[in-house]
Amino acid sequence: MLFSGRRRKLGANPQTEVYTQSLQFYGQPPLENISLSEFETFAVERLKLLKTVENVGVSYVKQSEQYSKKLENELKNLNFPYRSDTQDDRKSQSGPSETEKRRKDYISHFILRLAYCQTEDLRRWFIQQEVDLFRYRFNQLDSKQKLEFLHRNNLQYEAISSKEKKDLQDKLVNSSYAVSGITVETCDFYKLTARSLPAVHSDERLQPLLNHLSHAYVGQDYSIQKNVGKISLEQIDSLSGKSFPLCMRQLHQSLRENHHLRHGGRMQYGLFLKGIGLSLEQALQFWRSEFVKGKVDADKFDKAYAYSVRHMFGKEGRRADYTPYSCMKLILSNPPSQGDYHGCPFRHSDPELLKQKLQFYKVSPGGISQILELVKGMHFQLACQKYFELTHNVEDASFSLSHPNQYFIESQKVLGGVKDTKRETDTSEHSVARGSTAAREAANSSQHSAEMTEDLDSYFKDA
């Protein structure tokens, strides 16, 4: 795939032949030129598609009629091909032609492959969603089309040797749901895209973008406060029980119990509180009043911690408006160690401990089983969404969770609490609109943000 500032005309591209088929095996990477802006749009839209596949996959029995119907609707809405009909290339009045959809499907698959080949967790998630999508589409073909598809794709992947298989046995078993120590010998494994990464690393425009995509957050950033001062410090205890996601609820509880949080927890919780509307003055008062109940006196707090709180609000250092952390950031980076309370409890807690926490928070035994099932399948955000449904007594959360601050806003919507109508109604559309620019922003700013976050981190370290 080549990247340029301009998009080559579709008709002039010899690869258009590939786009005559609605189902792809993605055997060869695209050879055509593609503009960076199209690269960004395709990446974000594929990500939305795969998240939808994940969502539908845990809400309905796979391959059931309901599952297929739901997926077909979603593919239609997102302008990805969903039919086995290879003839229909009419451009509808309201959307792209089938060829354009297939082109997007083809190219976007390869973009996300690059973004998601970087770690074991990411690979596993990506493969799972792509396999489900492929299985759905394959099942839509009639038997003749299935046969044609198999003939067309001679599936010549490079299999790893028996010796490599032996050497990698543990990793292969851990990374494949259906493979055990016994069956691993009889299965074939193929080399993955990670080997292409060195070439991509050399393109300074793409690497920040791919790193950002693999953290998969394309929604609102909650850094702009519109509710500043609308929440009082007295409300926080009650809000933490009603409207905080589990990650923030456990941080709040730990802070109240220990009168201290280590820097990972302070970063995560401090930025979340800023995002829900705490002003700088309130934040300083909040942290000071809690810390002085423990081993830190007021003088030490002002010397060692107040600066970092002001920094978080952009009043010190680079004066940057720091963004509350998204779920993917919390799930994928900086795992908690002993004595830490940050991270995502659905990802980082031992299942038995998670079960106890949920029992303590009065989640029903049936609900706990459903949550633990989702956790087992590594659907951490969906497990959190289920926790939302159970604790808010709603059947279908009707939003796709990607941020702790989003959880809070949605909870307040259900409970009829503190409102910011514009932001609430904007959230879903905003996420979509933002999608087209998210990658661009990432390419421009992820390097900068990483530096800023490290910078901020350093202010938060314990003395």
Residue ranges binding ligand SF4 (CB under 6 A): 245-247, 327, 330, 344-346, 380-381, 384, 404, 407
What are the strands, taking DSSP E only, across 205-334? Answer: none
4, containing H or E segment: strand 2-4
Query: What tokens appear for 181 in the block?
Result: 């120590």
Q: Which H or E run includes 463?
A: none
Q: Tell me if 36 sits within 8 A of 443, measured CB to CB.
A: yes
- The answer for residues whose C-beta is within 8 angstroms of residue 188's C-beta and 6 or more apart is 159
Residue 459: count of CB within 10 angstroms of its CB: 18
Q: How far is the CB of 397 from ligand SF4 (least distance, A)?
A: 12
| Encoded tokens for 380 | 């951490």
Q: Which residue has the tokens 């159970």?
A: 390
Which tokens belong to 240?
A: 């933490």
Structural tokens at position 199: 């070439």
CB of 92 to ligand SF4, least distance (A): 37
User: How near is the Cβ of 248 to ligand SF4 at its closest, in Å?
Assistant: 7
Residues in the chain: 463
Q: Report residue 228: phi and psi, to 5°.
A: -55, 130
| Closer residue to ligand SF4, CB minimum distance, 277 or 404 | 404
Rounded-to-integer distance, Cα 84 and Cα 107, Å: 19
CB of 411 to ligand SF4, least distance (A): 11
| Torsion angle of C-alpha atoms 404, 405, 408, 413, degrees rounded to 10 | -130
Rounded Cα distance, 46 and 111, in Å:
9
Cβ at position 264, least distance to ligand SF4 in Å: 13
In the complex, the smallest distance separating the C-beta of residue 404 from ligand SF4, rounded to whole angstroms, is 4
The three-point CA angle 310-271-43 to 5° equals 130
Q: How far apart are CA 403 and CA 240, in angstroms?
A: 16
Instruction: Pick between residue 262 and residue 348 the one whose CB is nearest to ligand SF4.
Output: 348
Q: Please say which residue, 122 or 330, places its beta carbon nearer to ligand SF4.
A: 330
Looking at beta carbons only, is 39 or 387 nearer to ligand SF4? 387
Question: Which CB, 261 or 384, lies closer to ligand SF4?
Answer: 384
Least Å distance between CB 291 and ligand SF4?
A: 24
CB-count burial class (<10 Å; 0-12, 13-18, 19+) for 42? buried
- CB closer to ligand SF4 out of 291 and 380: 380
Nearer to ligand SF4, 75 or 344 (CB): 344
Identify which of residues 206 and 344 has a Cβ nearer to ligand SF4 in the complex. Answer: 344
Smallest separation, CB 249 to ligand SF4 (Å): 8
